[in-house]
Structure 1
Amino acid sequence: MVGSNQKNTPFRKPQSNKAGGRGRAGEPRQGAVSRFGLVSQVAQLIDLLNQFEGPADATISRFFKDHPELGGRDRPLVAEAVYCWLRYRFRINHLAQAAEGPPLMRQAKLALLWSGAPEPVWSAGRQSDNEWLSRVINISADDLASEPRTCLPDWLTAKLLDQFGPDRVESFSQAVLKAAPLDVRVNTLKITAGDLQQALAGMGVKSEPIEGLPDALRVEGKPALGKTDLFQDGAFEVQDAGSQWVSRLVAPRRSDLVVDFCAGAGGKTLAIAALMKNTGRVVALDTSERRLQKFRPRAARAGMSNFYTLVINDEADPRLNKYYGKADRVLVDVPCTGMGTLRRNPDLKFRQDLQSLAELNEKQMSIIEQASKLVKPDGRLIYVTCSVLQDENERVVEAFLAAHPEFRLRRWTEVLNPNERPQKADTAADMLRLWPEDGESDGFFAAVLQRSKA
């Protein structure tokens, strides 16, 4: 069994009475959902999320549309509580099942308490629930079984334990219980990092530079940046620091033809285009028209003009033949389990399993095989995932290299300048691996594969 010190375990009552919904003397404000009603709303949403029929953020958005009685000050309370439940689901459910009464309401109350909701919210309703809360907040996580303690499913714990050992299981499991920070990539086509930081400060938004990323800022708190004129004018994009680092590993030259093979909504495509100063050509490919449709207005807002989008049927679409052997850089950000992004997407650990991992491995091998055909002699293939599992990372790269002697592995430190590197990444390793517990970014993996000149 993996050891635990549980430094960030929230077995305590929060001291703050932040966030609202409260009128004078703790009474619900006019038109707001009642305190007990908020607990009920959280319980209903937990019940929906427990089915794991789709991404949590989409389920939450639909729920809010279906419940207009939840106002602008109530929704953040509900959203924070359900994300807390997703992170601590095994522990919360275990503690709720150990008591009498409706388990969903107990789960909702504990999630509200741990997410920092004000006491009049989570203490509303049954007194017996509050007596139960008083007991469970004093329980040590060290006394719980593996799943409730680490809050990771057994299949993921077993993989991490086998591949990295107990210390990594411990540090990773605790890191992904925390919410991720808010990072932005400065659009240097329009503004400098210093000027953006100053402009945000003028709006009351605090931010700090991210060491090793000259075009990035880490924003304090969770301000609604998407509603600002700065965002609408294309001054920045919200993008995790890890995503920015792997984008920089593409290291494009201004005259290059760069293919983003799995572009999605284009976050990395935009970062690459900015590095190219809107010169050369960037081709954004994806099998989803819907995702590429989201990219086009982002590109227009950013002032990006050196791109072309193409919806492909699959990685072997014959329309890709015209790019065979012509691309200077091919970025392959493959579909993966997303186990490096659990701070942002905690539901993924319940929506993936060993079977889906095996299916993704097959897809990853097929995509890297097909994408490699686009790389010109002396060009580069950059393989990327937002997973921490070796199954999706080193093992895919090693299998590809064994079958393709015309490619060789380039050390990531040969590509990124010393002042543009994550400070806590292993500089002795050939491939770049980022861990969320290092505090620099989400979990990412990247390998740079160079094709021979002839």
Structure 2
Amino acid sequence: MVRPRFQPDRVSVTFAAILQETLDLTEEVDAVARPADAVVSDFFRARRDIPTAHRGPISVLLYALLRHHARLGWWLKRHGRPDTPRNRLLAWLMLGGGKTRDQVQALFSGAKFAPAPLTDQERALLIKLQGARVDHPTMPDDVRYECPDWAADGLHRRFGDAFASEMAAMLTPAPLDLRVNPIKADRAEMLSALRALGLPAELSPLSPYGIRVSERPALNRLPMLKTGEVEIQDEGSQMVAVVVDAKPGDRVVDFCAGAGGKTLAIAAQMKNKGHVIACDVLDGRLKRAAERFRRAGLHNIETRPLASETDRWVKRHKGGFDRVLVDAPCSGTGTWRRNPDARWRVLGPGLEALLPLQARILASAARLVKPGGRLVYATCSLLAEENEAQVAAFLAAHPAFRVVPLSEVAPEITSSAHPDYLALTPARHDTDGFFAAALQREAAAIETDAAPE
């Protein structure tokens, strides 16, 4: 059935209409194998008749459902109801949304723009949920903290007694972190400009380029984004570029550049001097990144698509770079605050496929580092298998490299979980979860080891 859409001349939208649009959006998120934020963007682009003032509440409601996925599913299973978007929404309104049974029934009226009336089974579910709260004493910890089975053992090993506090921090919405582009702007001036827009902005505690906004404004309110004066980038991600520590005049490779966020930070560190090569196996992402580079006023960046991690280009440029960053594809466990759907929908390779891929990428990229140069291995994962274990295996196989301690590359980090590596978590640092290891090739002959061709 085709539902009536909002009319352009409507001045306001009822909460019931917001519920129906949230249902439509949730069904789309469930139906397609794409990240939720991309689906949300396309959803609103295709429905321009939804008033701008109500897009925020729809997004907030969707992400509340995503952040409570396991707990809502637990309640539905407890009462014998299928885990559907509509049942999840009904359960959330009762358990976390502060609504009574009568209020929910009134909202699901079947009127224009409102959700269809409740069925007898749905009314029975509301009766069972009346007076309950989203958390329950008998819930297993992994359910209470929204931890999927595939990551649970690794996260328990990583955090031990701190598992509950770390996972609880992962359930909070992330702030908006901005990185000031020093090629175009001054951090103090950008801070003043954001405050002049009425935004609660502060200097980031770790990154020398960061500003944190403690609410999520509509991005069209931020003209400095369009001019390239600032970029959206989590402070943890900014700190990975700090660990790279590229200098003006260096030759640098961002081996898994993706959308180019860290490439931008590195090139700006270099003050537009030297040469940065952004590599990736996905040519489309590099082409989109190139537009970001132009907007930022950076002209020291070259994009280089690779056929694979062992592309012949790597062999031809062996030992030719001062800095090489491997921001490896990973499970993304550190980004769950921003991407709560990633807990339940693995859209890329699973962990078993990622681990050998990370090792191959690191070994191949290491060939590019010149004697005395630095190799930085980074992930946005919290799992030791993807982080410390990968570095230990690499060092055992590549004796020409040694660890550069964190105290040398980022002395401002005093509470990292590991003395040698950057290891940021939401609970400790209020950043996304990030890992980075700085590895220096000793000033001797380049190893003869070769990654598979």
TM-score for both structures, normalised by structure 2: 0.85
Q: Is residue 2:270 matched to residue 1:276? A: yes
- Indicate if the aligned counterparts of 1:186 and 1:196 stay in contact, CA closer than 8 A: yes
Q: Residue 124 of structure 1 aligns with which residue?
A: 107
The 3 A distance-change label for structure 1 pair 411 and 123 is farther
Structure 2 distance, partners of 1:114, 1:272, is 46
Q: Which residue, out of 438, 446, 452, partners 2:442?
A: 452
Q: Residue 54 of structure 1 aligns with which residue?
A: 34
Q: Residue 410 of structure 1 aligns with which residue?
A: 404
The 3 A distance-change label for structure 1 pair 404 and 240 is same
Letter in 1 for 2:164: E
- Tell me how far 1:250 sits from its aligned partner: 0.6
Q: Residue 229 of structure 1 aligns with which residue?
A: 223
Q: Residue 425 of structure 1 aligns with which residue?
A: 416
Structure 2 distance, partners of 1:175, 1:123, is 35
Q: Which residue, out of 283, 287, 296, partners 1:289?
A: 283
Structure 2 distance, partners of 1:366, 1:33, is 53
Structure 1 distance, partners of 2:195, 2:99, is 28
Structure 2 distance, partners of 1:32, 1:133, is 31
Q: Is residue 2:247 matched to residue 1:253? A: yes
- Tell me how far 1:121 sits from its aligned partner: 8.1
Indicate the larger mover: 116-125 or 353-362: 116-125
The 3 A distance-change label for structure 1 pair 301 and 354 is closer
Q: Residue 88 of structure 2 aligns with which residue?
A: 107
CA displacement 1:229-277 (0-9 Å, x = unmatched): 3222221111100001111101112121010001111111111111111
Q: Is residue 2:147 matched to residue 1:157? A: no
Structure 2 distance, partners of 1:190, 1:68, is 33
Structure 2 distance, partners of 1:132, 1:390, is 42
Structure 1 distance, partners of 2:282, 2:369, is 23
The 3 A distance-change label for structure 1 pair 141 and 397 is same
- Tell me how far 1:89 sits from its aligned partner: 0.3
Q: Which residue, out of 10, 22, 39, partners 1:42?
A: 22
Structure 1 distance, partners of 2:285, 2:311, is 18
- Tell me how far 1:211 sits from its aligned partner: 1.6
- Indicate if the aligned counterparts of 1:91 and 1:147 stay in contact, CA closer than 8 A: no
CA displacement 1:58-83 (0-9 Å, x = unmatched): 23334334545533233222222221
Structure 1 distance, partners of 2:21, 2:284, is 31
The 3 A distance-change label for structure 1 pair 170 and 411 is same
Mapping 1:194-213, distance limit 5 Å: 194-213=188-207
The 3 A distance-change label for structure 1 pair 96 and 70 is farther
Q: Is residue 2:427 matched to residue 1:437? A: yes
- Indicate if the aligned counterparts of 1:77 and 1:117 stay in contact, CA closer than 8 A: no
Q: Residue 358 of structure 1 aligns with which residue?
A: 352
Q: Which residue, out of 236, 260, 268, partners 1:242?
A: 236
Letter in 1 for 2:294: A
- Indicate if the aligned counterparts of 1:39 and 1:121 stay in contact, CA closer than 8 A: no
Q: Which residue, out of 148, 172, 186, partners 2:166?
A: 172
Letter in 2 for 1:384: A
Mapping 1:388-399, distance limit 5 Å: 388-399=382-393
Name the SS for the 1:332 alignment partner.
Answer: strand
- Indicate if the aligned counterparts of 1:264 and 1:291 stay in contact, CA closer than 8 A: yes
- Tell me how far 1:189 sits from its aligned partner: 1.2
Name the SS for the 1:141 alignment partner.
Answer: coil
Letter in 2 for 1:36: A
Q: Which residue, out of 377, 385, 393, partners 2:379?
A: 385
Structure 1 distance, partners of 2:310, 2:32, is 31
Q: Residue 73 of structure 1 aligns with which residue?
A: 53
Mapping 1:136-147, distance limit 5 Å: 136-137=132-133, 140-147=135-142
Give percent identity, aligned residues only: 37
Name the SS for the 1:214 alignment partner.
Answer: coil
- Tell me how far 1:118 sits from its aligned partner: 9.3
Structure 1 distance, partners of 2:131, 2:99, is 19
Q: Residue 320 of structure 1 aligns with which residue?
A: 314
The 3 A distance-change label for structure 1 pair 131 and 68 is farther
- Tell me how far 1:130 sits from its aligned partner: 5.5
Structure 1 distance, partners of 2:357, 2:438, is 19
CA displacement 1:268-311 (0-9 Å, x = unmatched): 11111111111111111111122112211211111111111111
CA displacement 1:190-218 (0-9 Å, x = unmatched): 22111111111222222001123222110
Letter in 2 for 1:135: G
- Indicate if the aligned counterparts of 1:32 and 1:69 stay in contact, CA closer than 8 A: no
Name the SS for the 1:185 alignment partner.
Answer: strand
CA displacement 1:84-131 (0-9 Å, x = unmatched): 111110101222344477853231144467786999789612594665
Q: Which residue, out of 62, 70, 79, partners 1:82?
A: 62
Mapping 1:28-39, distance limit 5 Å: 30=10, 34-39=14-19
The 3 A distance-change label for structure 1 pair 70 and 108 is farther
Name the SS for the 2:208 alignment partner.
Answer: strand
Q: Residue 17 of structure 1 aligns with which residue?
A: none
- Tell me how far 1:332 sits from its aligned partner: 0.4
- Tell me how far 1:52 sits from its aligned partner: 6.1
Structure 2 distance, partners of 1:212, 1:355, is 32
Structure 1 distance, partners of 2:53, 2:148, is 33
Q: Which stretches in structure 1 are left out of the alignment for 5+ residues?
A: 1-28
Structure 2 distance, partners of 1:360, 1:145, is 28
Query: How many matched pairs?
Result: 420
- Indicate if the aligned counterparts of 1:87 and 1:176 stay in contact, CA closer than 8 A: no
Indicate the larger mover: 113-122 or 142-151: 113-122
- Indicate if the aligned counterparts of 1:376 and 1:451 stay in contact, CA closer than 8 A: yes
TM-score for both structures, normalised by structure 1: 0.85
Q: Residue 451 of structure 2 aligns with which residue?
A: none
